[in-house]
Amino acid sequence: MRAFFRRHRGLHIWLLSVCGVLALYFALRPVPGLMTRFSRGIIMPLERAVAAVCYRADFSVAELLYAVAAGVILLWMGDTVRRLITEKGRRGRIVYRFVLTAVCTVLTVYAGFSLLWGVNYYAESFQEQSGVYARESTPEELARVTEYFARQLAGCADQVQRDENGLFAESRADIFAHSVRVFDGIYEEFPCLVMEDHVPKGVRFSTALSAMDFTGFYFPFTGEANLNIDSPACYLPSTIAHEMAHQRGIASEQECNFIAIAASTTAQSPAYRYSGWLMGFTYLSNALYRADQEAWKQVRVLLPDTVVADLRDNSAYWAEFEGPVNDAAQKVYDSFLKSSGESRGTQSYGTVVDLLVVYYKDAAFTHYVDKAIDMKQVVNTNKALVHLDKFGDKLLVTATIDNLLKGASGQAVQNMNLMFGLDETSGLRLKPSAF
């Protein structure tokens, strides 16, 4: 027995080491403050440094690594089969080494993802950083915000290039080129998202991504945002913004969808604005259909034929890939999300609706906050944050504003915007500052 363990000593040390790392990770991840400091102070700077190198290549380094890994695995499995055939007297040893190596490899990759990405699920969330919290909404609020998105979508539908069939036909090259400026419009309101951006990477094997029902992915080992370039381009700009949100250490899919929509709809590029309103409308209208079909019908008729054509084209494309491969990939991804801290798995994509309704309903700058208010969230902004605490039969209402802005000059500008028919938020998405 001693000789057996000595023979596989390296593999056993490898297994114990990676198990120790995972045990430490699982023990410490319930401590949000520690996870936040680890993520913001070590992991994100490391990923950005690696990304700066990887973005020097004009191809997806992540895709190359996946291809190399697949090749190595196939060669390794082939060599193992060869040895099982030619070395009949050592089959037990070969099988044991194969299984142990496979287990160690899988655990190592999982540990790497946990340290480079999983920590973000337990760090301070975007909602906590921004003061914009999701909450359940009424059907009336949902219908009102969905109608707002429909009207915005209809208003910008003719601002993008279209082909002879009326479908979205903006150049993918231009979409990628404009990506580095997509967050400019929300930096002032959400300074936690500020970072230097690189042009994302298109994936050459995009058809494989489509088969797995993926429009893109963020690869923490290289810090790259990777995009499916085979799917209809109308959702490409907002999907790019989604993956770039992940680059900012935001793990939650629902928060990244919200950020993508908020960034895209305020971008200078018409393609991004259209795609942002389209993505937002898609989530909102699906939720409205489930909540109130009559209200959904009233909103649906607001869409011009070009938007309807884009929606149908997108649905037809993804329908081609429905099947067991698609289902299996989604089950695997769902399990990964749950194991990483996204308790609702892929269903978490639906909760973006709550964030959209809270953010885009009538009060453009007033947000209800579930947790205690931090004053640094409103300094130098036009925001008003409201928090409720119940003590027995008494209700304590806490609100915070920057009195020089929200209470004075911001109020005047907001009223002027309404009087002159301007966007209520014009000139008021101001940058908060800590103290």
pLDDT tens track for 240-253: 999 999 999 999 99
Distance of CA 329 to the CA centre of its chain: 18
Q: Which pairs from 158-161 meet CB under 8 Å and 24+ separation?
A: 158/304, 158/306, 159/270, 159/273, 159/274, 160/270, 160/271, 160/274
pLDDT-based confidence at 388, cuts 50/70/90? Answer: confident
> Which pLDDT band, with edges at 50, 70 and 90, does 363 fall under?
low
To the nearest whole number, what is the mean pLDDT of the chain? 87
Q: What is the dihedral angle through the alpha carbons of 368, 126, 137, 240, rounded to the nearest 10 degrees?
A: 140
Q: What is the largest CA-CA distance in the chain?
A: 89
pLDDT of residue 325: 61
pLDDT at residue 170 is higher than 80: yes
The length of the chain is 435
Q: Domain segments of the chain: what residues?
A: 2-121, 126-360, 366-419
Is the confidence at residue 418, as pLDDT, over 70? Answer: no
What confidence tier does 399 reach under pLDDT thresholds 50, 70, 90? confident
Ranges of H-type helices in 167-292: 172-177, 206-211, 236-246, 253-265, 270-291
CA pair distance 246, 96, nearest whole angstrom: 39
Q: Pick the more confident residue, 422 or 153.
A: 153
The dihedral over CA atoms of 334, 40, 388, 351, expressed in degrees to the nearest 10, equals -20
Q: What pLDDT digit, counting tens, does each position of 189-236 carry?
A: 899 999 999 999 999 999 999 998 899 999 999 999 999 999 999 999
What confidence score (pLDDT) does residue 419 get?
64
Residue where the block lists tokens 């899988």: 106
pLDDT at 39 (0 to 100): 95
Predicted pLDDT of residue 371: 65
pLDDT given at position 31? 94
Tell me if residue 279 falls in helix, strand or coil: helix
Token pair belonging to 410: 């911001």
In angstroms, the CA 213 to CA 209 distance is: 6
Confidence of residue 175 (pLDDT cuts 50, 70, 90): very high
| pTM as predicted | 0.80
Q: Nearest-5° angle of CA 365, CA 369, CA 370?
A: 165
Per mean pLDDT, which range of 67-76, 147-156, 406-415, 416-425 is the poorest? 416-425
